[in-house]
Amino acid sequence: MRPEAKGRADRRRASALEPGRGQEAGAKAASAAGPAWRRLHPATPYLRSWGVILAIIAVGLFNMAENLADALDAAGRLGWHWLALGLAAVLAVAFAWAFCWWRRARFRLAEGVLELVTGVVFRQRRTVRLDRVEAVDTVRPLVPRLMGLVKLRVESAGGSDSAVELAYLKVSDAARWRREILQAAASARQAAEAPGPGETEAAVTGAGMAGDAAGDAIWDGAGDGAGDGAAAGPAGGAAVRERADRTAAKAFEGAAGDQTASGIGLSSAGAPGPPKSVETQVGELLGDSDARAPELFAVPTARVLASMALSIWVWLAVAAGVAAVAMLIGGELDIAAGLLPVVFGAGGVIWGRLMSDFGFAAKQTSRGLTLSHGLTTRVSQTIANGRVLAVTLSQGPLWRRFGWWRAQMLVAGYGADSEQKQSVLVPVADRETVRRAIWAVAPALAQPGAWELVTSAMDSRGAAPGFTGEPARARLFDPFAWKREAFALTEEMLVLRGGWLMRTATVLHHGRIQGIELSQGPWDRRRDLASVCLHLPSGPVSAVIPHLGGADAWALVEGEAARLNAAMRAALAARDQPAHDQPAAHAAADAQESVEQRSPRAPDSACLPRFRW
Amino acid sequence: MGDFRGQGVLFDPDGADWRGVSPKLITVRLIVIGVWFGLPVIGGLVALVIFRHWWIALPTAAWAAPGAWAAWLNARLVRAIGYLEREDDLLIRKGILFRQLTVVPYGRLQYIDINAGPLDRAFGLAKLSLNTAAGSLNASLPGLAPDEAARLRDRLSALGQARMAGL
């Protein structure tokens, strides 16, 4: 708390003079880490290529085993000392290469950027602008973990390949570097956002006060208070969260005028944590102590295993496996062989999920939500406040009687990673846990009435208050899910429900929609139906409402276009009024940058008509 | 535009003044269809005449049918393409049987491409592609006169910049 107050004071002094000073301060903070190059851990080359080494050994052994006698014979003829010498030479070359690689791989924090240089013959230099850094996640695969080594993954706004990995570092070094990178990133972002000289006074007094007050409220309420409260169990934690909600909101009422909540991802002003004023930003990053943060939820291992056992993939794998064995016994070798890919495919999905979801725990820090999970590879990722664009909940048929749901989130920086392990918000949990997780990333849903819509989207069918769905005449086109496909509106959010066997409920912010598509085929037209697709950045969330009545579909398209534009205008207005420096607007601007920076990609199929279960 | 009559109110908000694309696109697309479908079909017919195997007619007909369908619909499909510049967004409308209306908010535009292949250039046409952060959004306007494409690009990027800043 104290160092951040100091940082804040520095910040104020720096920005009060001239905008350039902010940059200098950022640079100085960066140079405190030293523009000198740093090295990775010497074991890095072996750890990075141990897969290759194993493969070579395995292939070698396999080939030798084929004709072991011949190989021994040949070796005997050649002379064992030659063989040993050859092996030694190969090893020496490998070690020399590894040593060169290690000597030449280096990274540093320089003026506003993080640089990583790798490669011996082909040198590669990767540069990350610090003001674009979204998160610094730690990843601990099994073998390095046993050696006390860690990989730092620096996520920045940009396409899916924008992450830079500092692998491997000692745990203690990694912790230090993580802090330094986050500090430098905060300084850089601060410098980039420093207001012009004319506006400084008002901005500093206005936003500074708000920042201080809110910062304190957040720390006292959510930080320390909830730290104590969390011990009292989940219910206690929730209660504290709500308290923090109110204090933070109260702190904002006085200092920062209108609450321009629209247009800032799923989070809104006056929420716990999310408001990032220029002043609190650095402090928040500095004060980011995960250990002190209260645990929001944890998924017990038994629950993960049970949910696996109740997933369709397991049944598919087991059924295919049983069938394969039966065919094998029956002598139908071809069919058995044909079933193997199914067994391995489904088994692979299950295995991947288990490896990734194991020991899933979430903590609420001042900076955002910190998720840690994984069995062999331990991942710790921080979802910064305001970065979640949409959340989708899903529930397979066998999970229903237990009331379990899986939540995935759309985060701009993560892109569409194919396995979407990074996108899991809650692997499996009951409704109460899901609520806490979602409220952490989407405080707007904590408003009265909003959560009721989401719970209704989770299990209502047919007509439900607030929902507009497919009319009965759409039944022919959507025989299973037609009673489930529907949407509902709140002031800030769009709530979608769908799916028949695999139920889904999706929440997105009006201001996050990238484009709207209305489509109608010839059969749709005969029955006056049309489908609406809301385009979002690529990720695990797809927002399609098929076969709405014509008038409803058109109203949704027009209404959503209007709401989207209103949200953008509100954010624009909030940004252009430094006196009412609404921290949320900065979060919004940041988040937009992150969306902006994405590299072009081939069109994906989010809006293709498909058969919905 | 004439051919929009009968498309229903759903794809014609407020009877607004939609703009169509250049009729020269009809010719361009016809040429493309000719190359893709016409030439193989002619080849098939020649082979049929030379070798006199009746089964050659089967793939030829199978290839000719969609080509004929495409050629028959071509002019109507081109005339069905329309766009409407509104205050905050651009609407793009396409299709006859399978209709599609895309709303692209100016404030969401990331970059705008103008493409013109050799055939397009020969006919004085250009294709405008609008890109937002959503990879799934396929918003493009083929068959624009280069001047119109450049005007749209400049206008949309100016409007986009003015509106994007905030979010």
Identity (one letter) of the amino acid at A19?
P
d(CA B136, CA A602) in angstroms, rounded, equals: 8
Cis-peptide, bond into residue A414, ω within 30° of zero: no
A212 φ/ψ angles, rounded to the nearest 5 degrees: -60, -50
Contact B111 A600 (CB under 8 A): yes
With an 8 Å Cβ cutoff, are B10 and A564 in contact?
A: no
Write out the two tokens for A109: 């924090």
Domain edges within chain B: 24-76, 82-164
- The answer to whether the CB of A99 falls within 8 A of the CB of A109 is no
Closest by Cβ to B167, choosing from A416, A511, A598: A511
Relative orientation angle of helices A200-217 and A278-286, to the nearest 10 degrees = 40
Residues across chain B: 167
Are β-strands A124-129 and A133-140 bridged in parallel, bridged antiparallel, or unpaired? Answer: unpaired
> Average pLDDT in the A208-226 region?
30
Q: Do residues B151 and B130 touch, judged by C-beta distance below 8 A?
A: no
Structure tokens given for A326? 């039966």
Let me know how long chain A is: 613
**Which residue's entry shows tokens 């201080």?**
A212
Whole-angstrom CA distances from A62 to A23, A58, A59, A66, A202 are 59, 6, 5, 6, 74
Q: Tell me: pLDDT of A352 over 70.
A: yes
Predicted local distance difference test score (pLDDT) of residue A288: 44
Give me B75's structure tokens. 């002019």
- A158: CB partners within 8 A, 6+ apart: A132, A413, A594, A597, A598, A599
B112 to chain A, any CB pair closer than 8 A? The answer is no
Residues of chain B with pLDDT under 70: 1-9, 13-15, 164-167
Helix (H), strand (E) at residue A589: helix A583-596
Best CA proximity match to A609, nearest among A515, A419, A478: A478
Helix (H, G, I), strand (E, B) or coil at B156: helix
Q: What is the CATH number of domain B82-164?
A: 2.30.29
* pLDDT tens, residue by residue, B58-102: 989 999 999 999 999 999 999 999 999 988 899 999 998 899 999
Write down the ipTM of this complex. 0.87
DSSP per position, B101-140:
EEEEEGGG--EEEEE--HHHHHHT-EEEEEE-S-TT--EE
B130 CB contacts (<8 Å, ≥6 apart)? Answer: B90, B104, B109, B112, B137, B139, B140, B141, B156
Q: Per-residue pLDDT tens for A551-605? A: 999 999 999 999 998 988 888 887 666 544 444 434 444 444 444 333 444 445 5
Interface touch A572/B135, C-beta < 8 Å: no
Q: How far is CA A1 from CA A190, A208, A272, A281, A366, in A?
A: 18, 16, 17, 13, 11
Of A518, A553, A605, the CB nearest to B136: A605
- Domain residue ranges of chain A, discontinuous segments joined by +: 48-103, 302-357, 435-596
Smallest Cβ–Cβ distance between B134 and the set A537, A561, A588 belongs to A537
- Note whether A599 and B110 are within 8 A (CB): no
Instruction: Give alpha helix (H) positions in A105-151.
Output: 142-146
pLDDT at residue A217 is higher than 80: no
C-alpha torsion sign, points A237, A239, A242, A243: negative
Q: A568 — alpha (psi -120 to 50), left (phi > 0) or beta? A: alpha
The Cα–Cα gap between A144 and A536 comes to 37
Task: Search chain B and give the residue with CA nearest A554.
Answer: B10
For an interface test with B, the pick among A414, A520, A531 (most B C-beta atoms closer than 10 Å) comes out as: A520
Residue whose pair of structure tokens reads 């040198």 in the numeric block: A123
CATH 2.120.10 for the A435-596 domain, yes or no: no
**A401-423 pLDDT per residue, tens:** 999 999 998 887 665 554 556 78
Q: Is the pLDDT of residue A291 over 60?
A: no
Query: Which residues in A lie closer than 8 A to residue B101 (C-beta atoms)?
Result: 517-519, 557
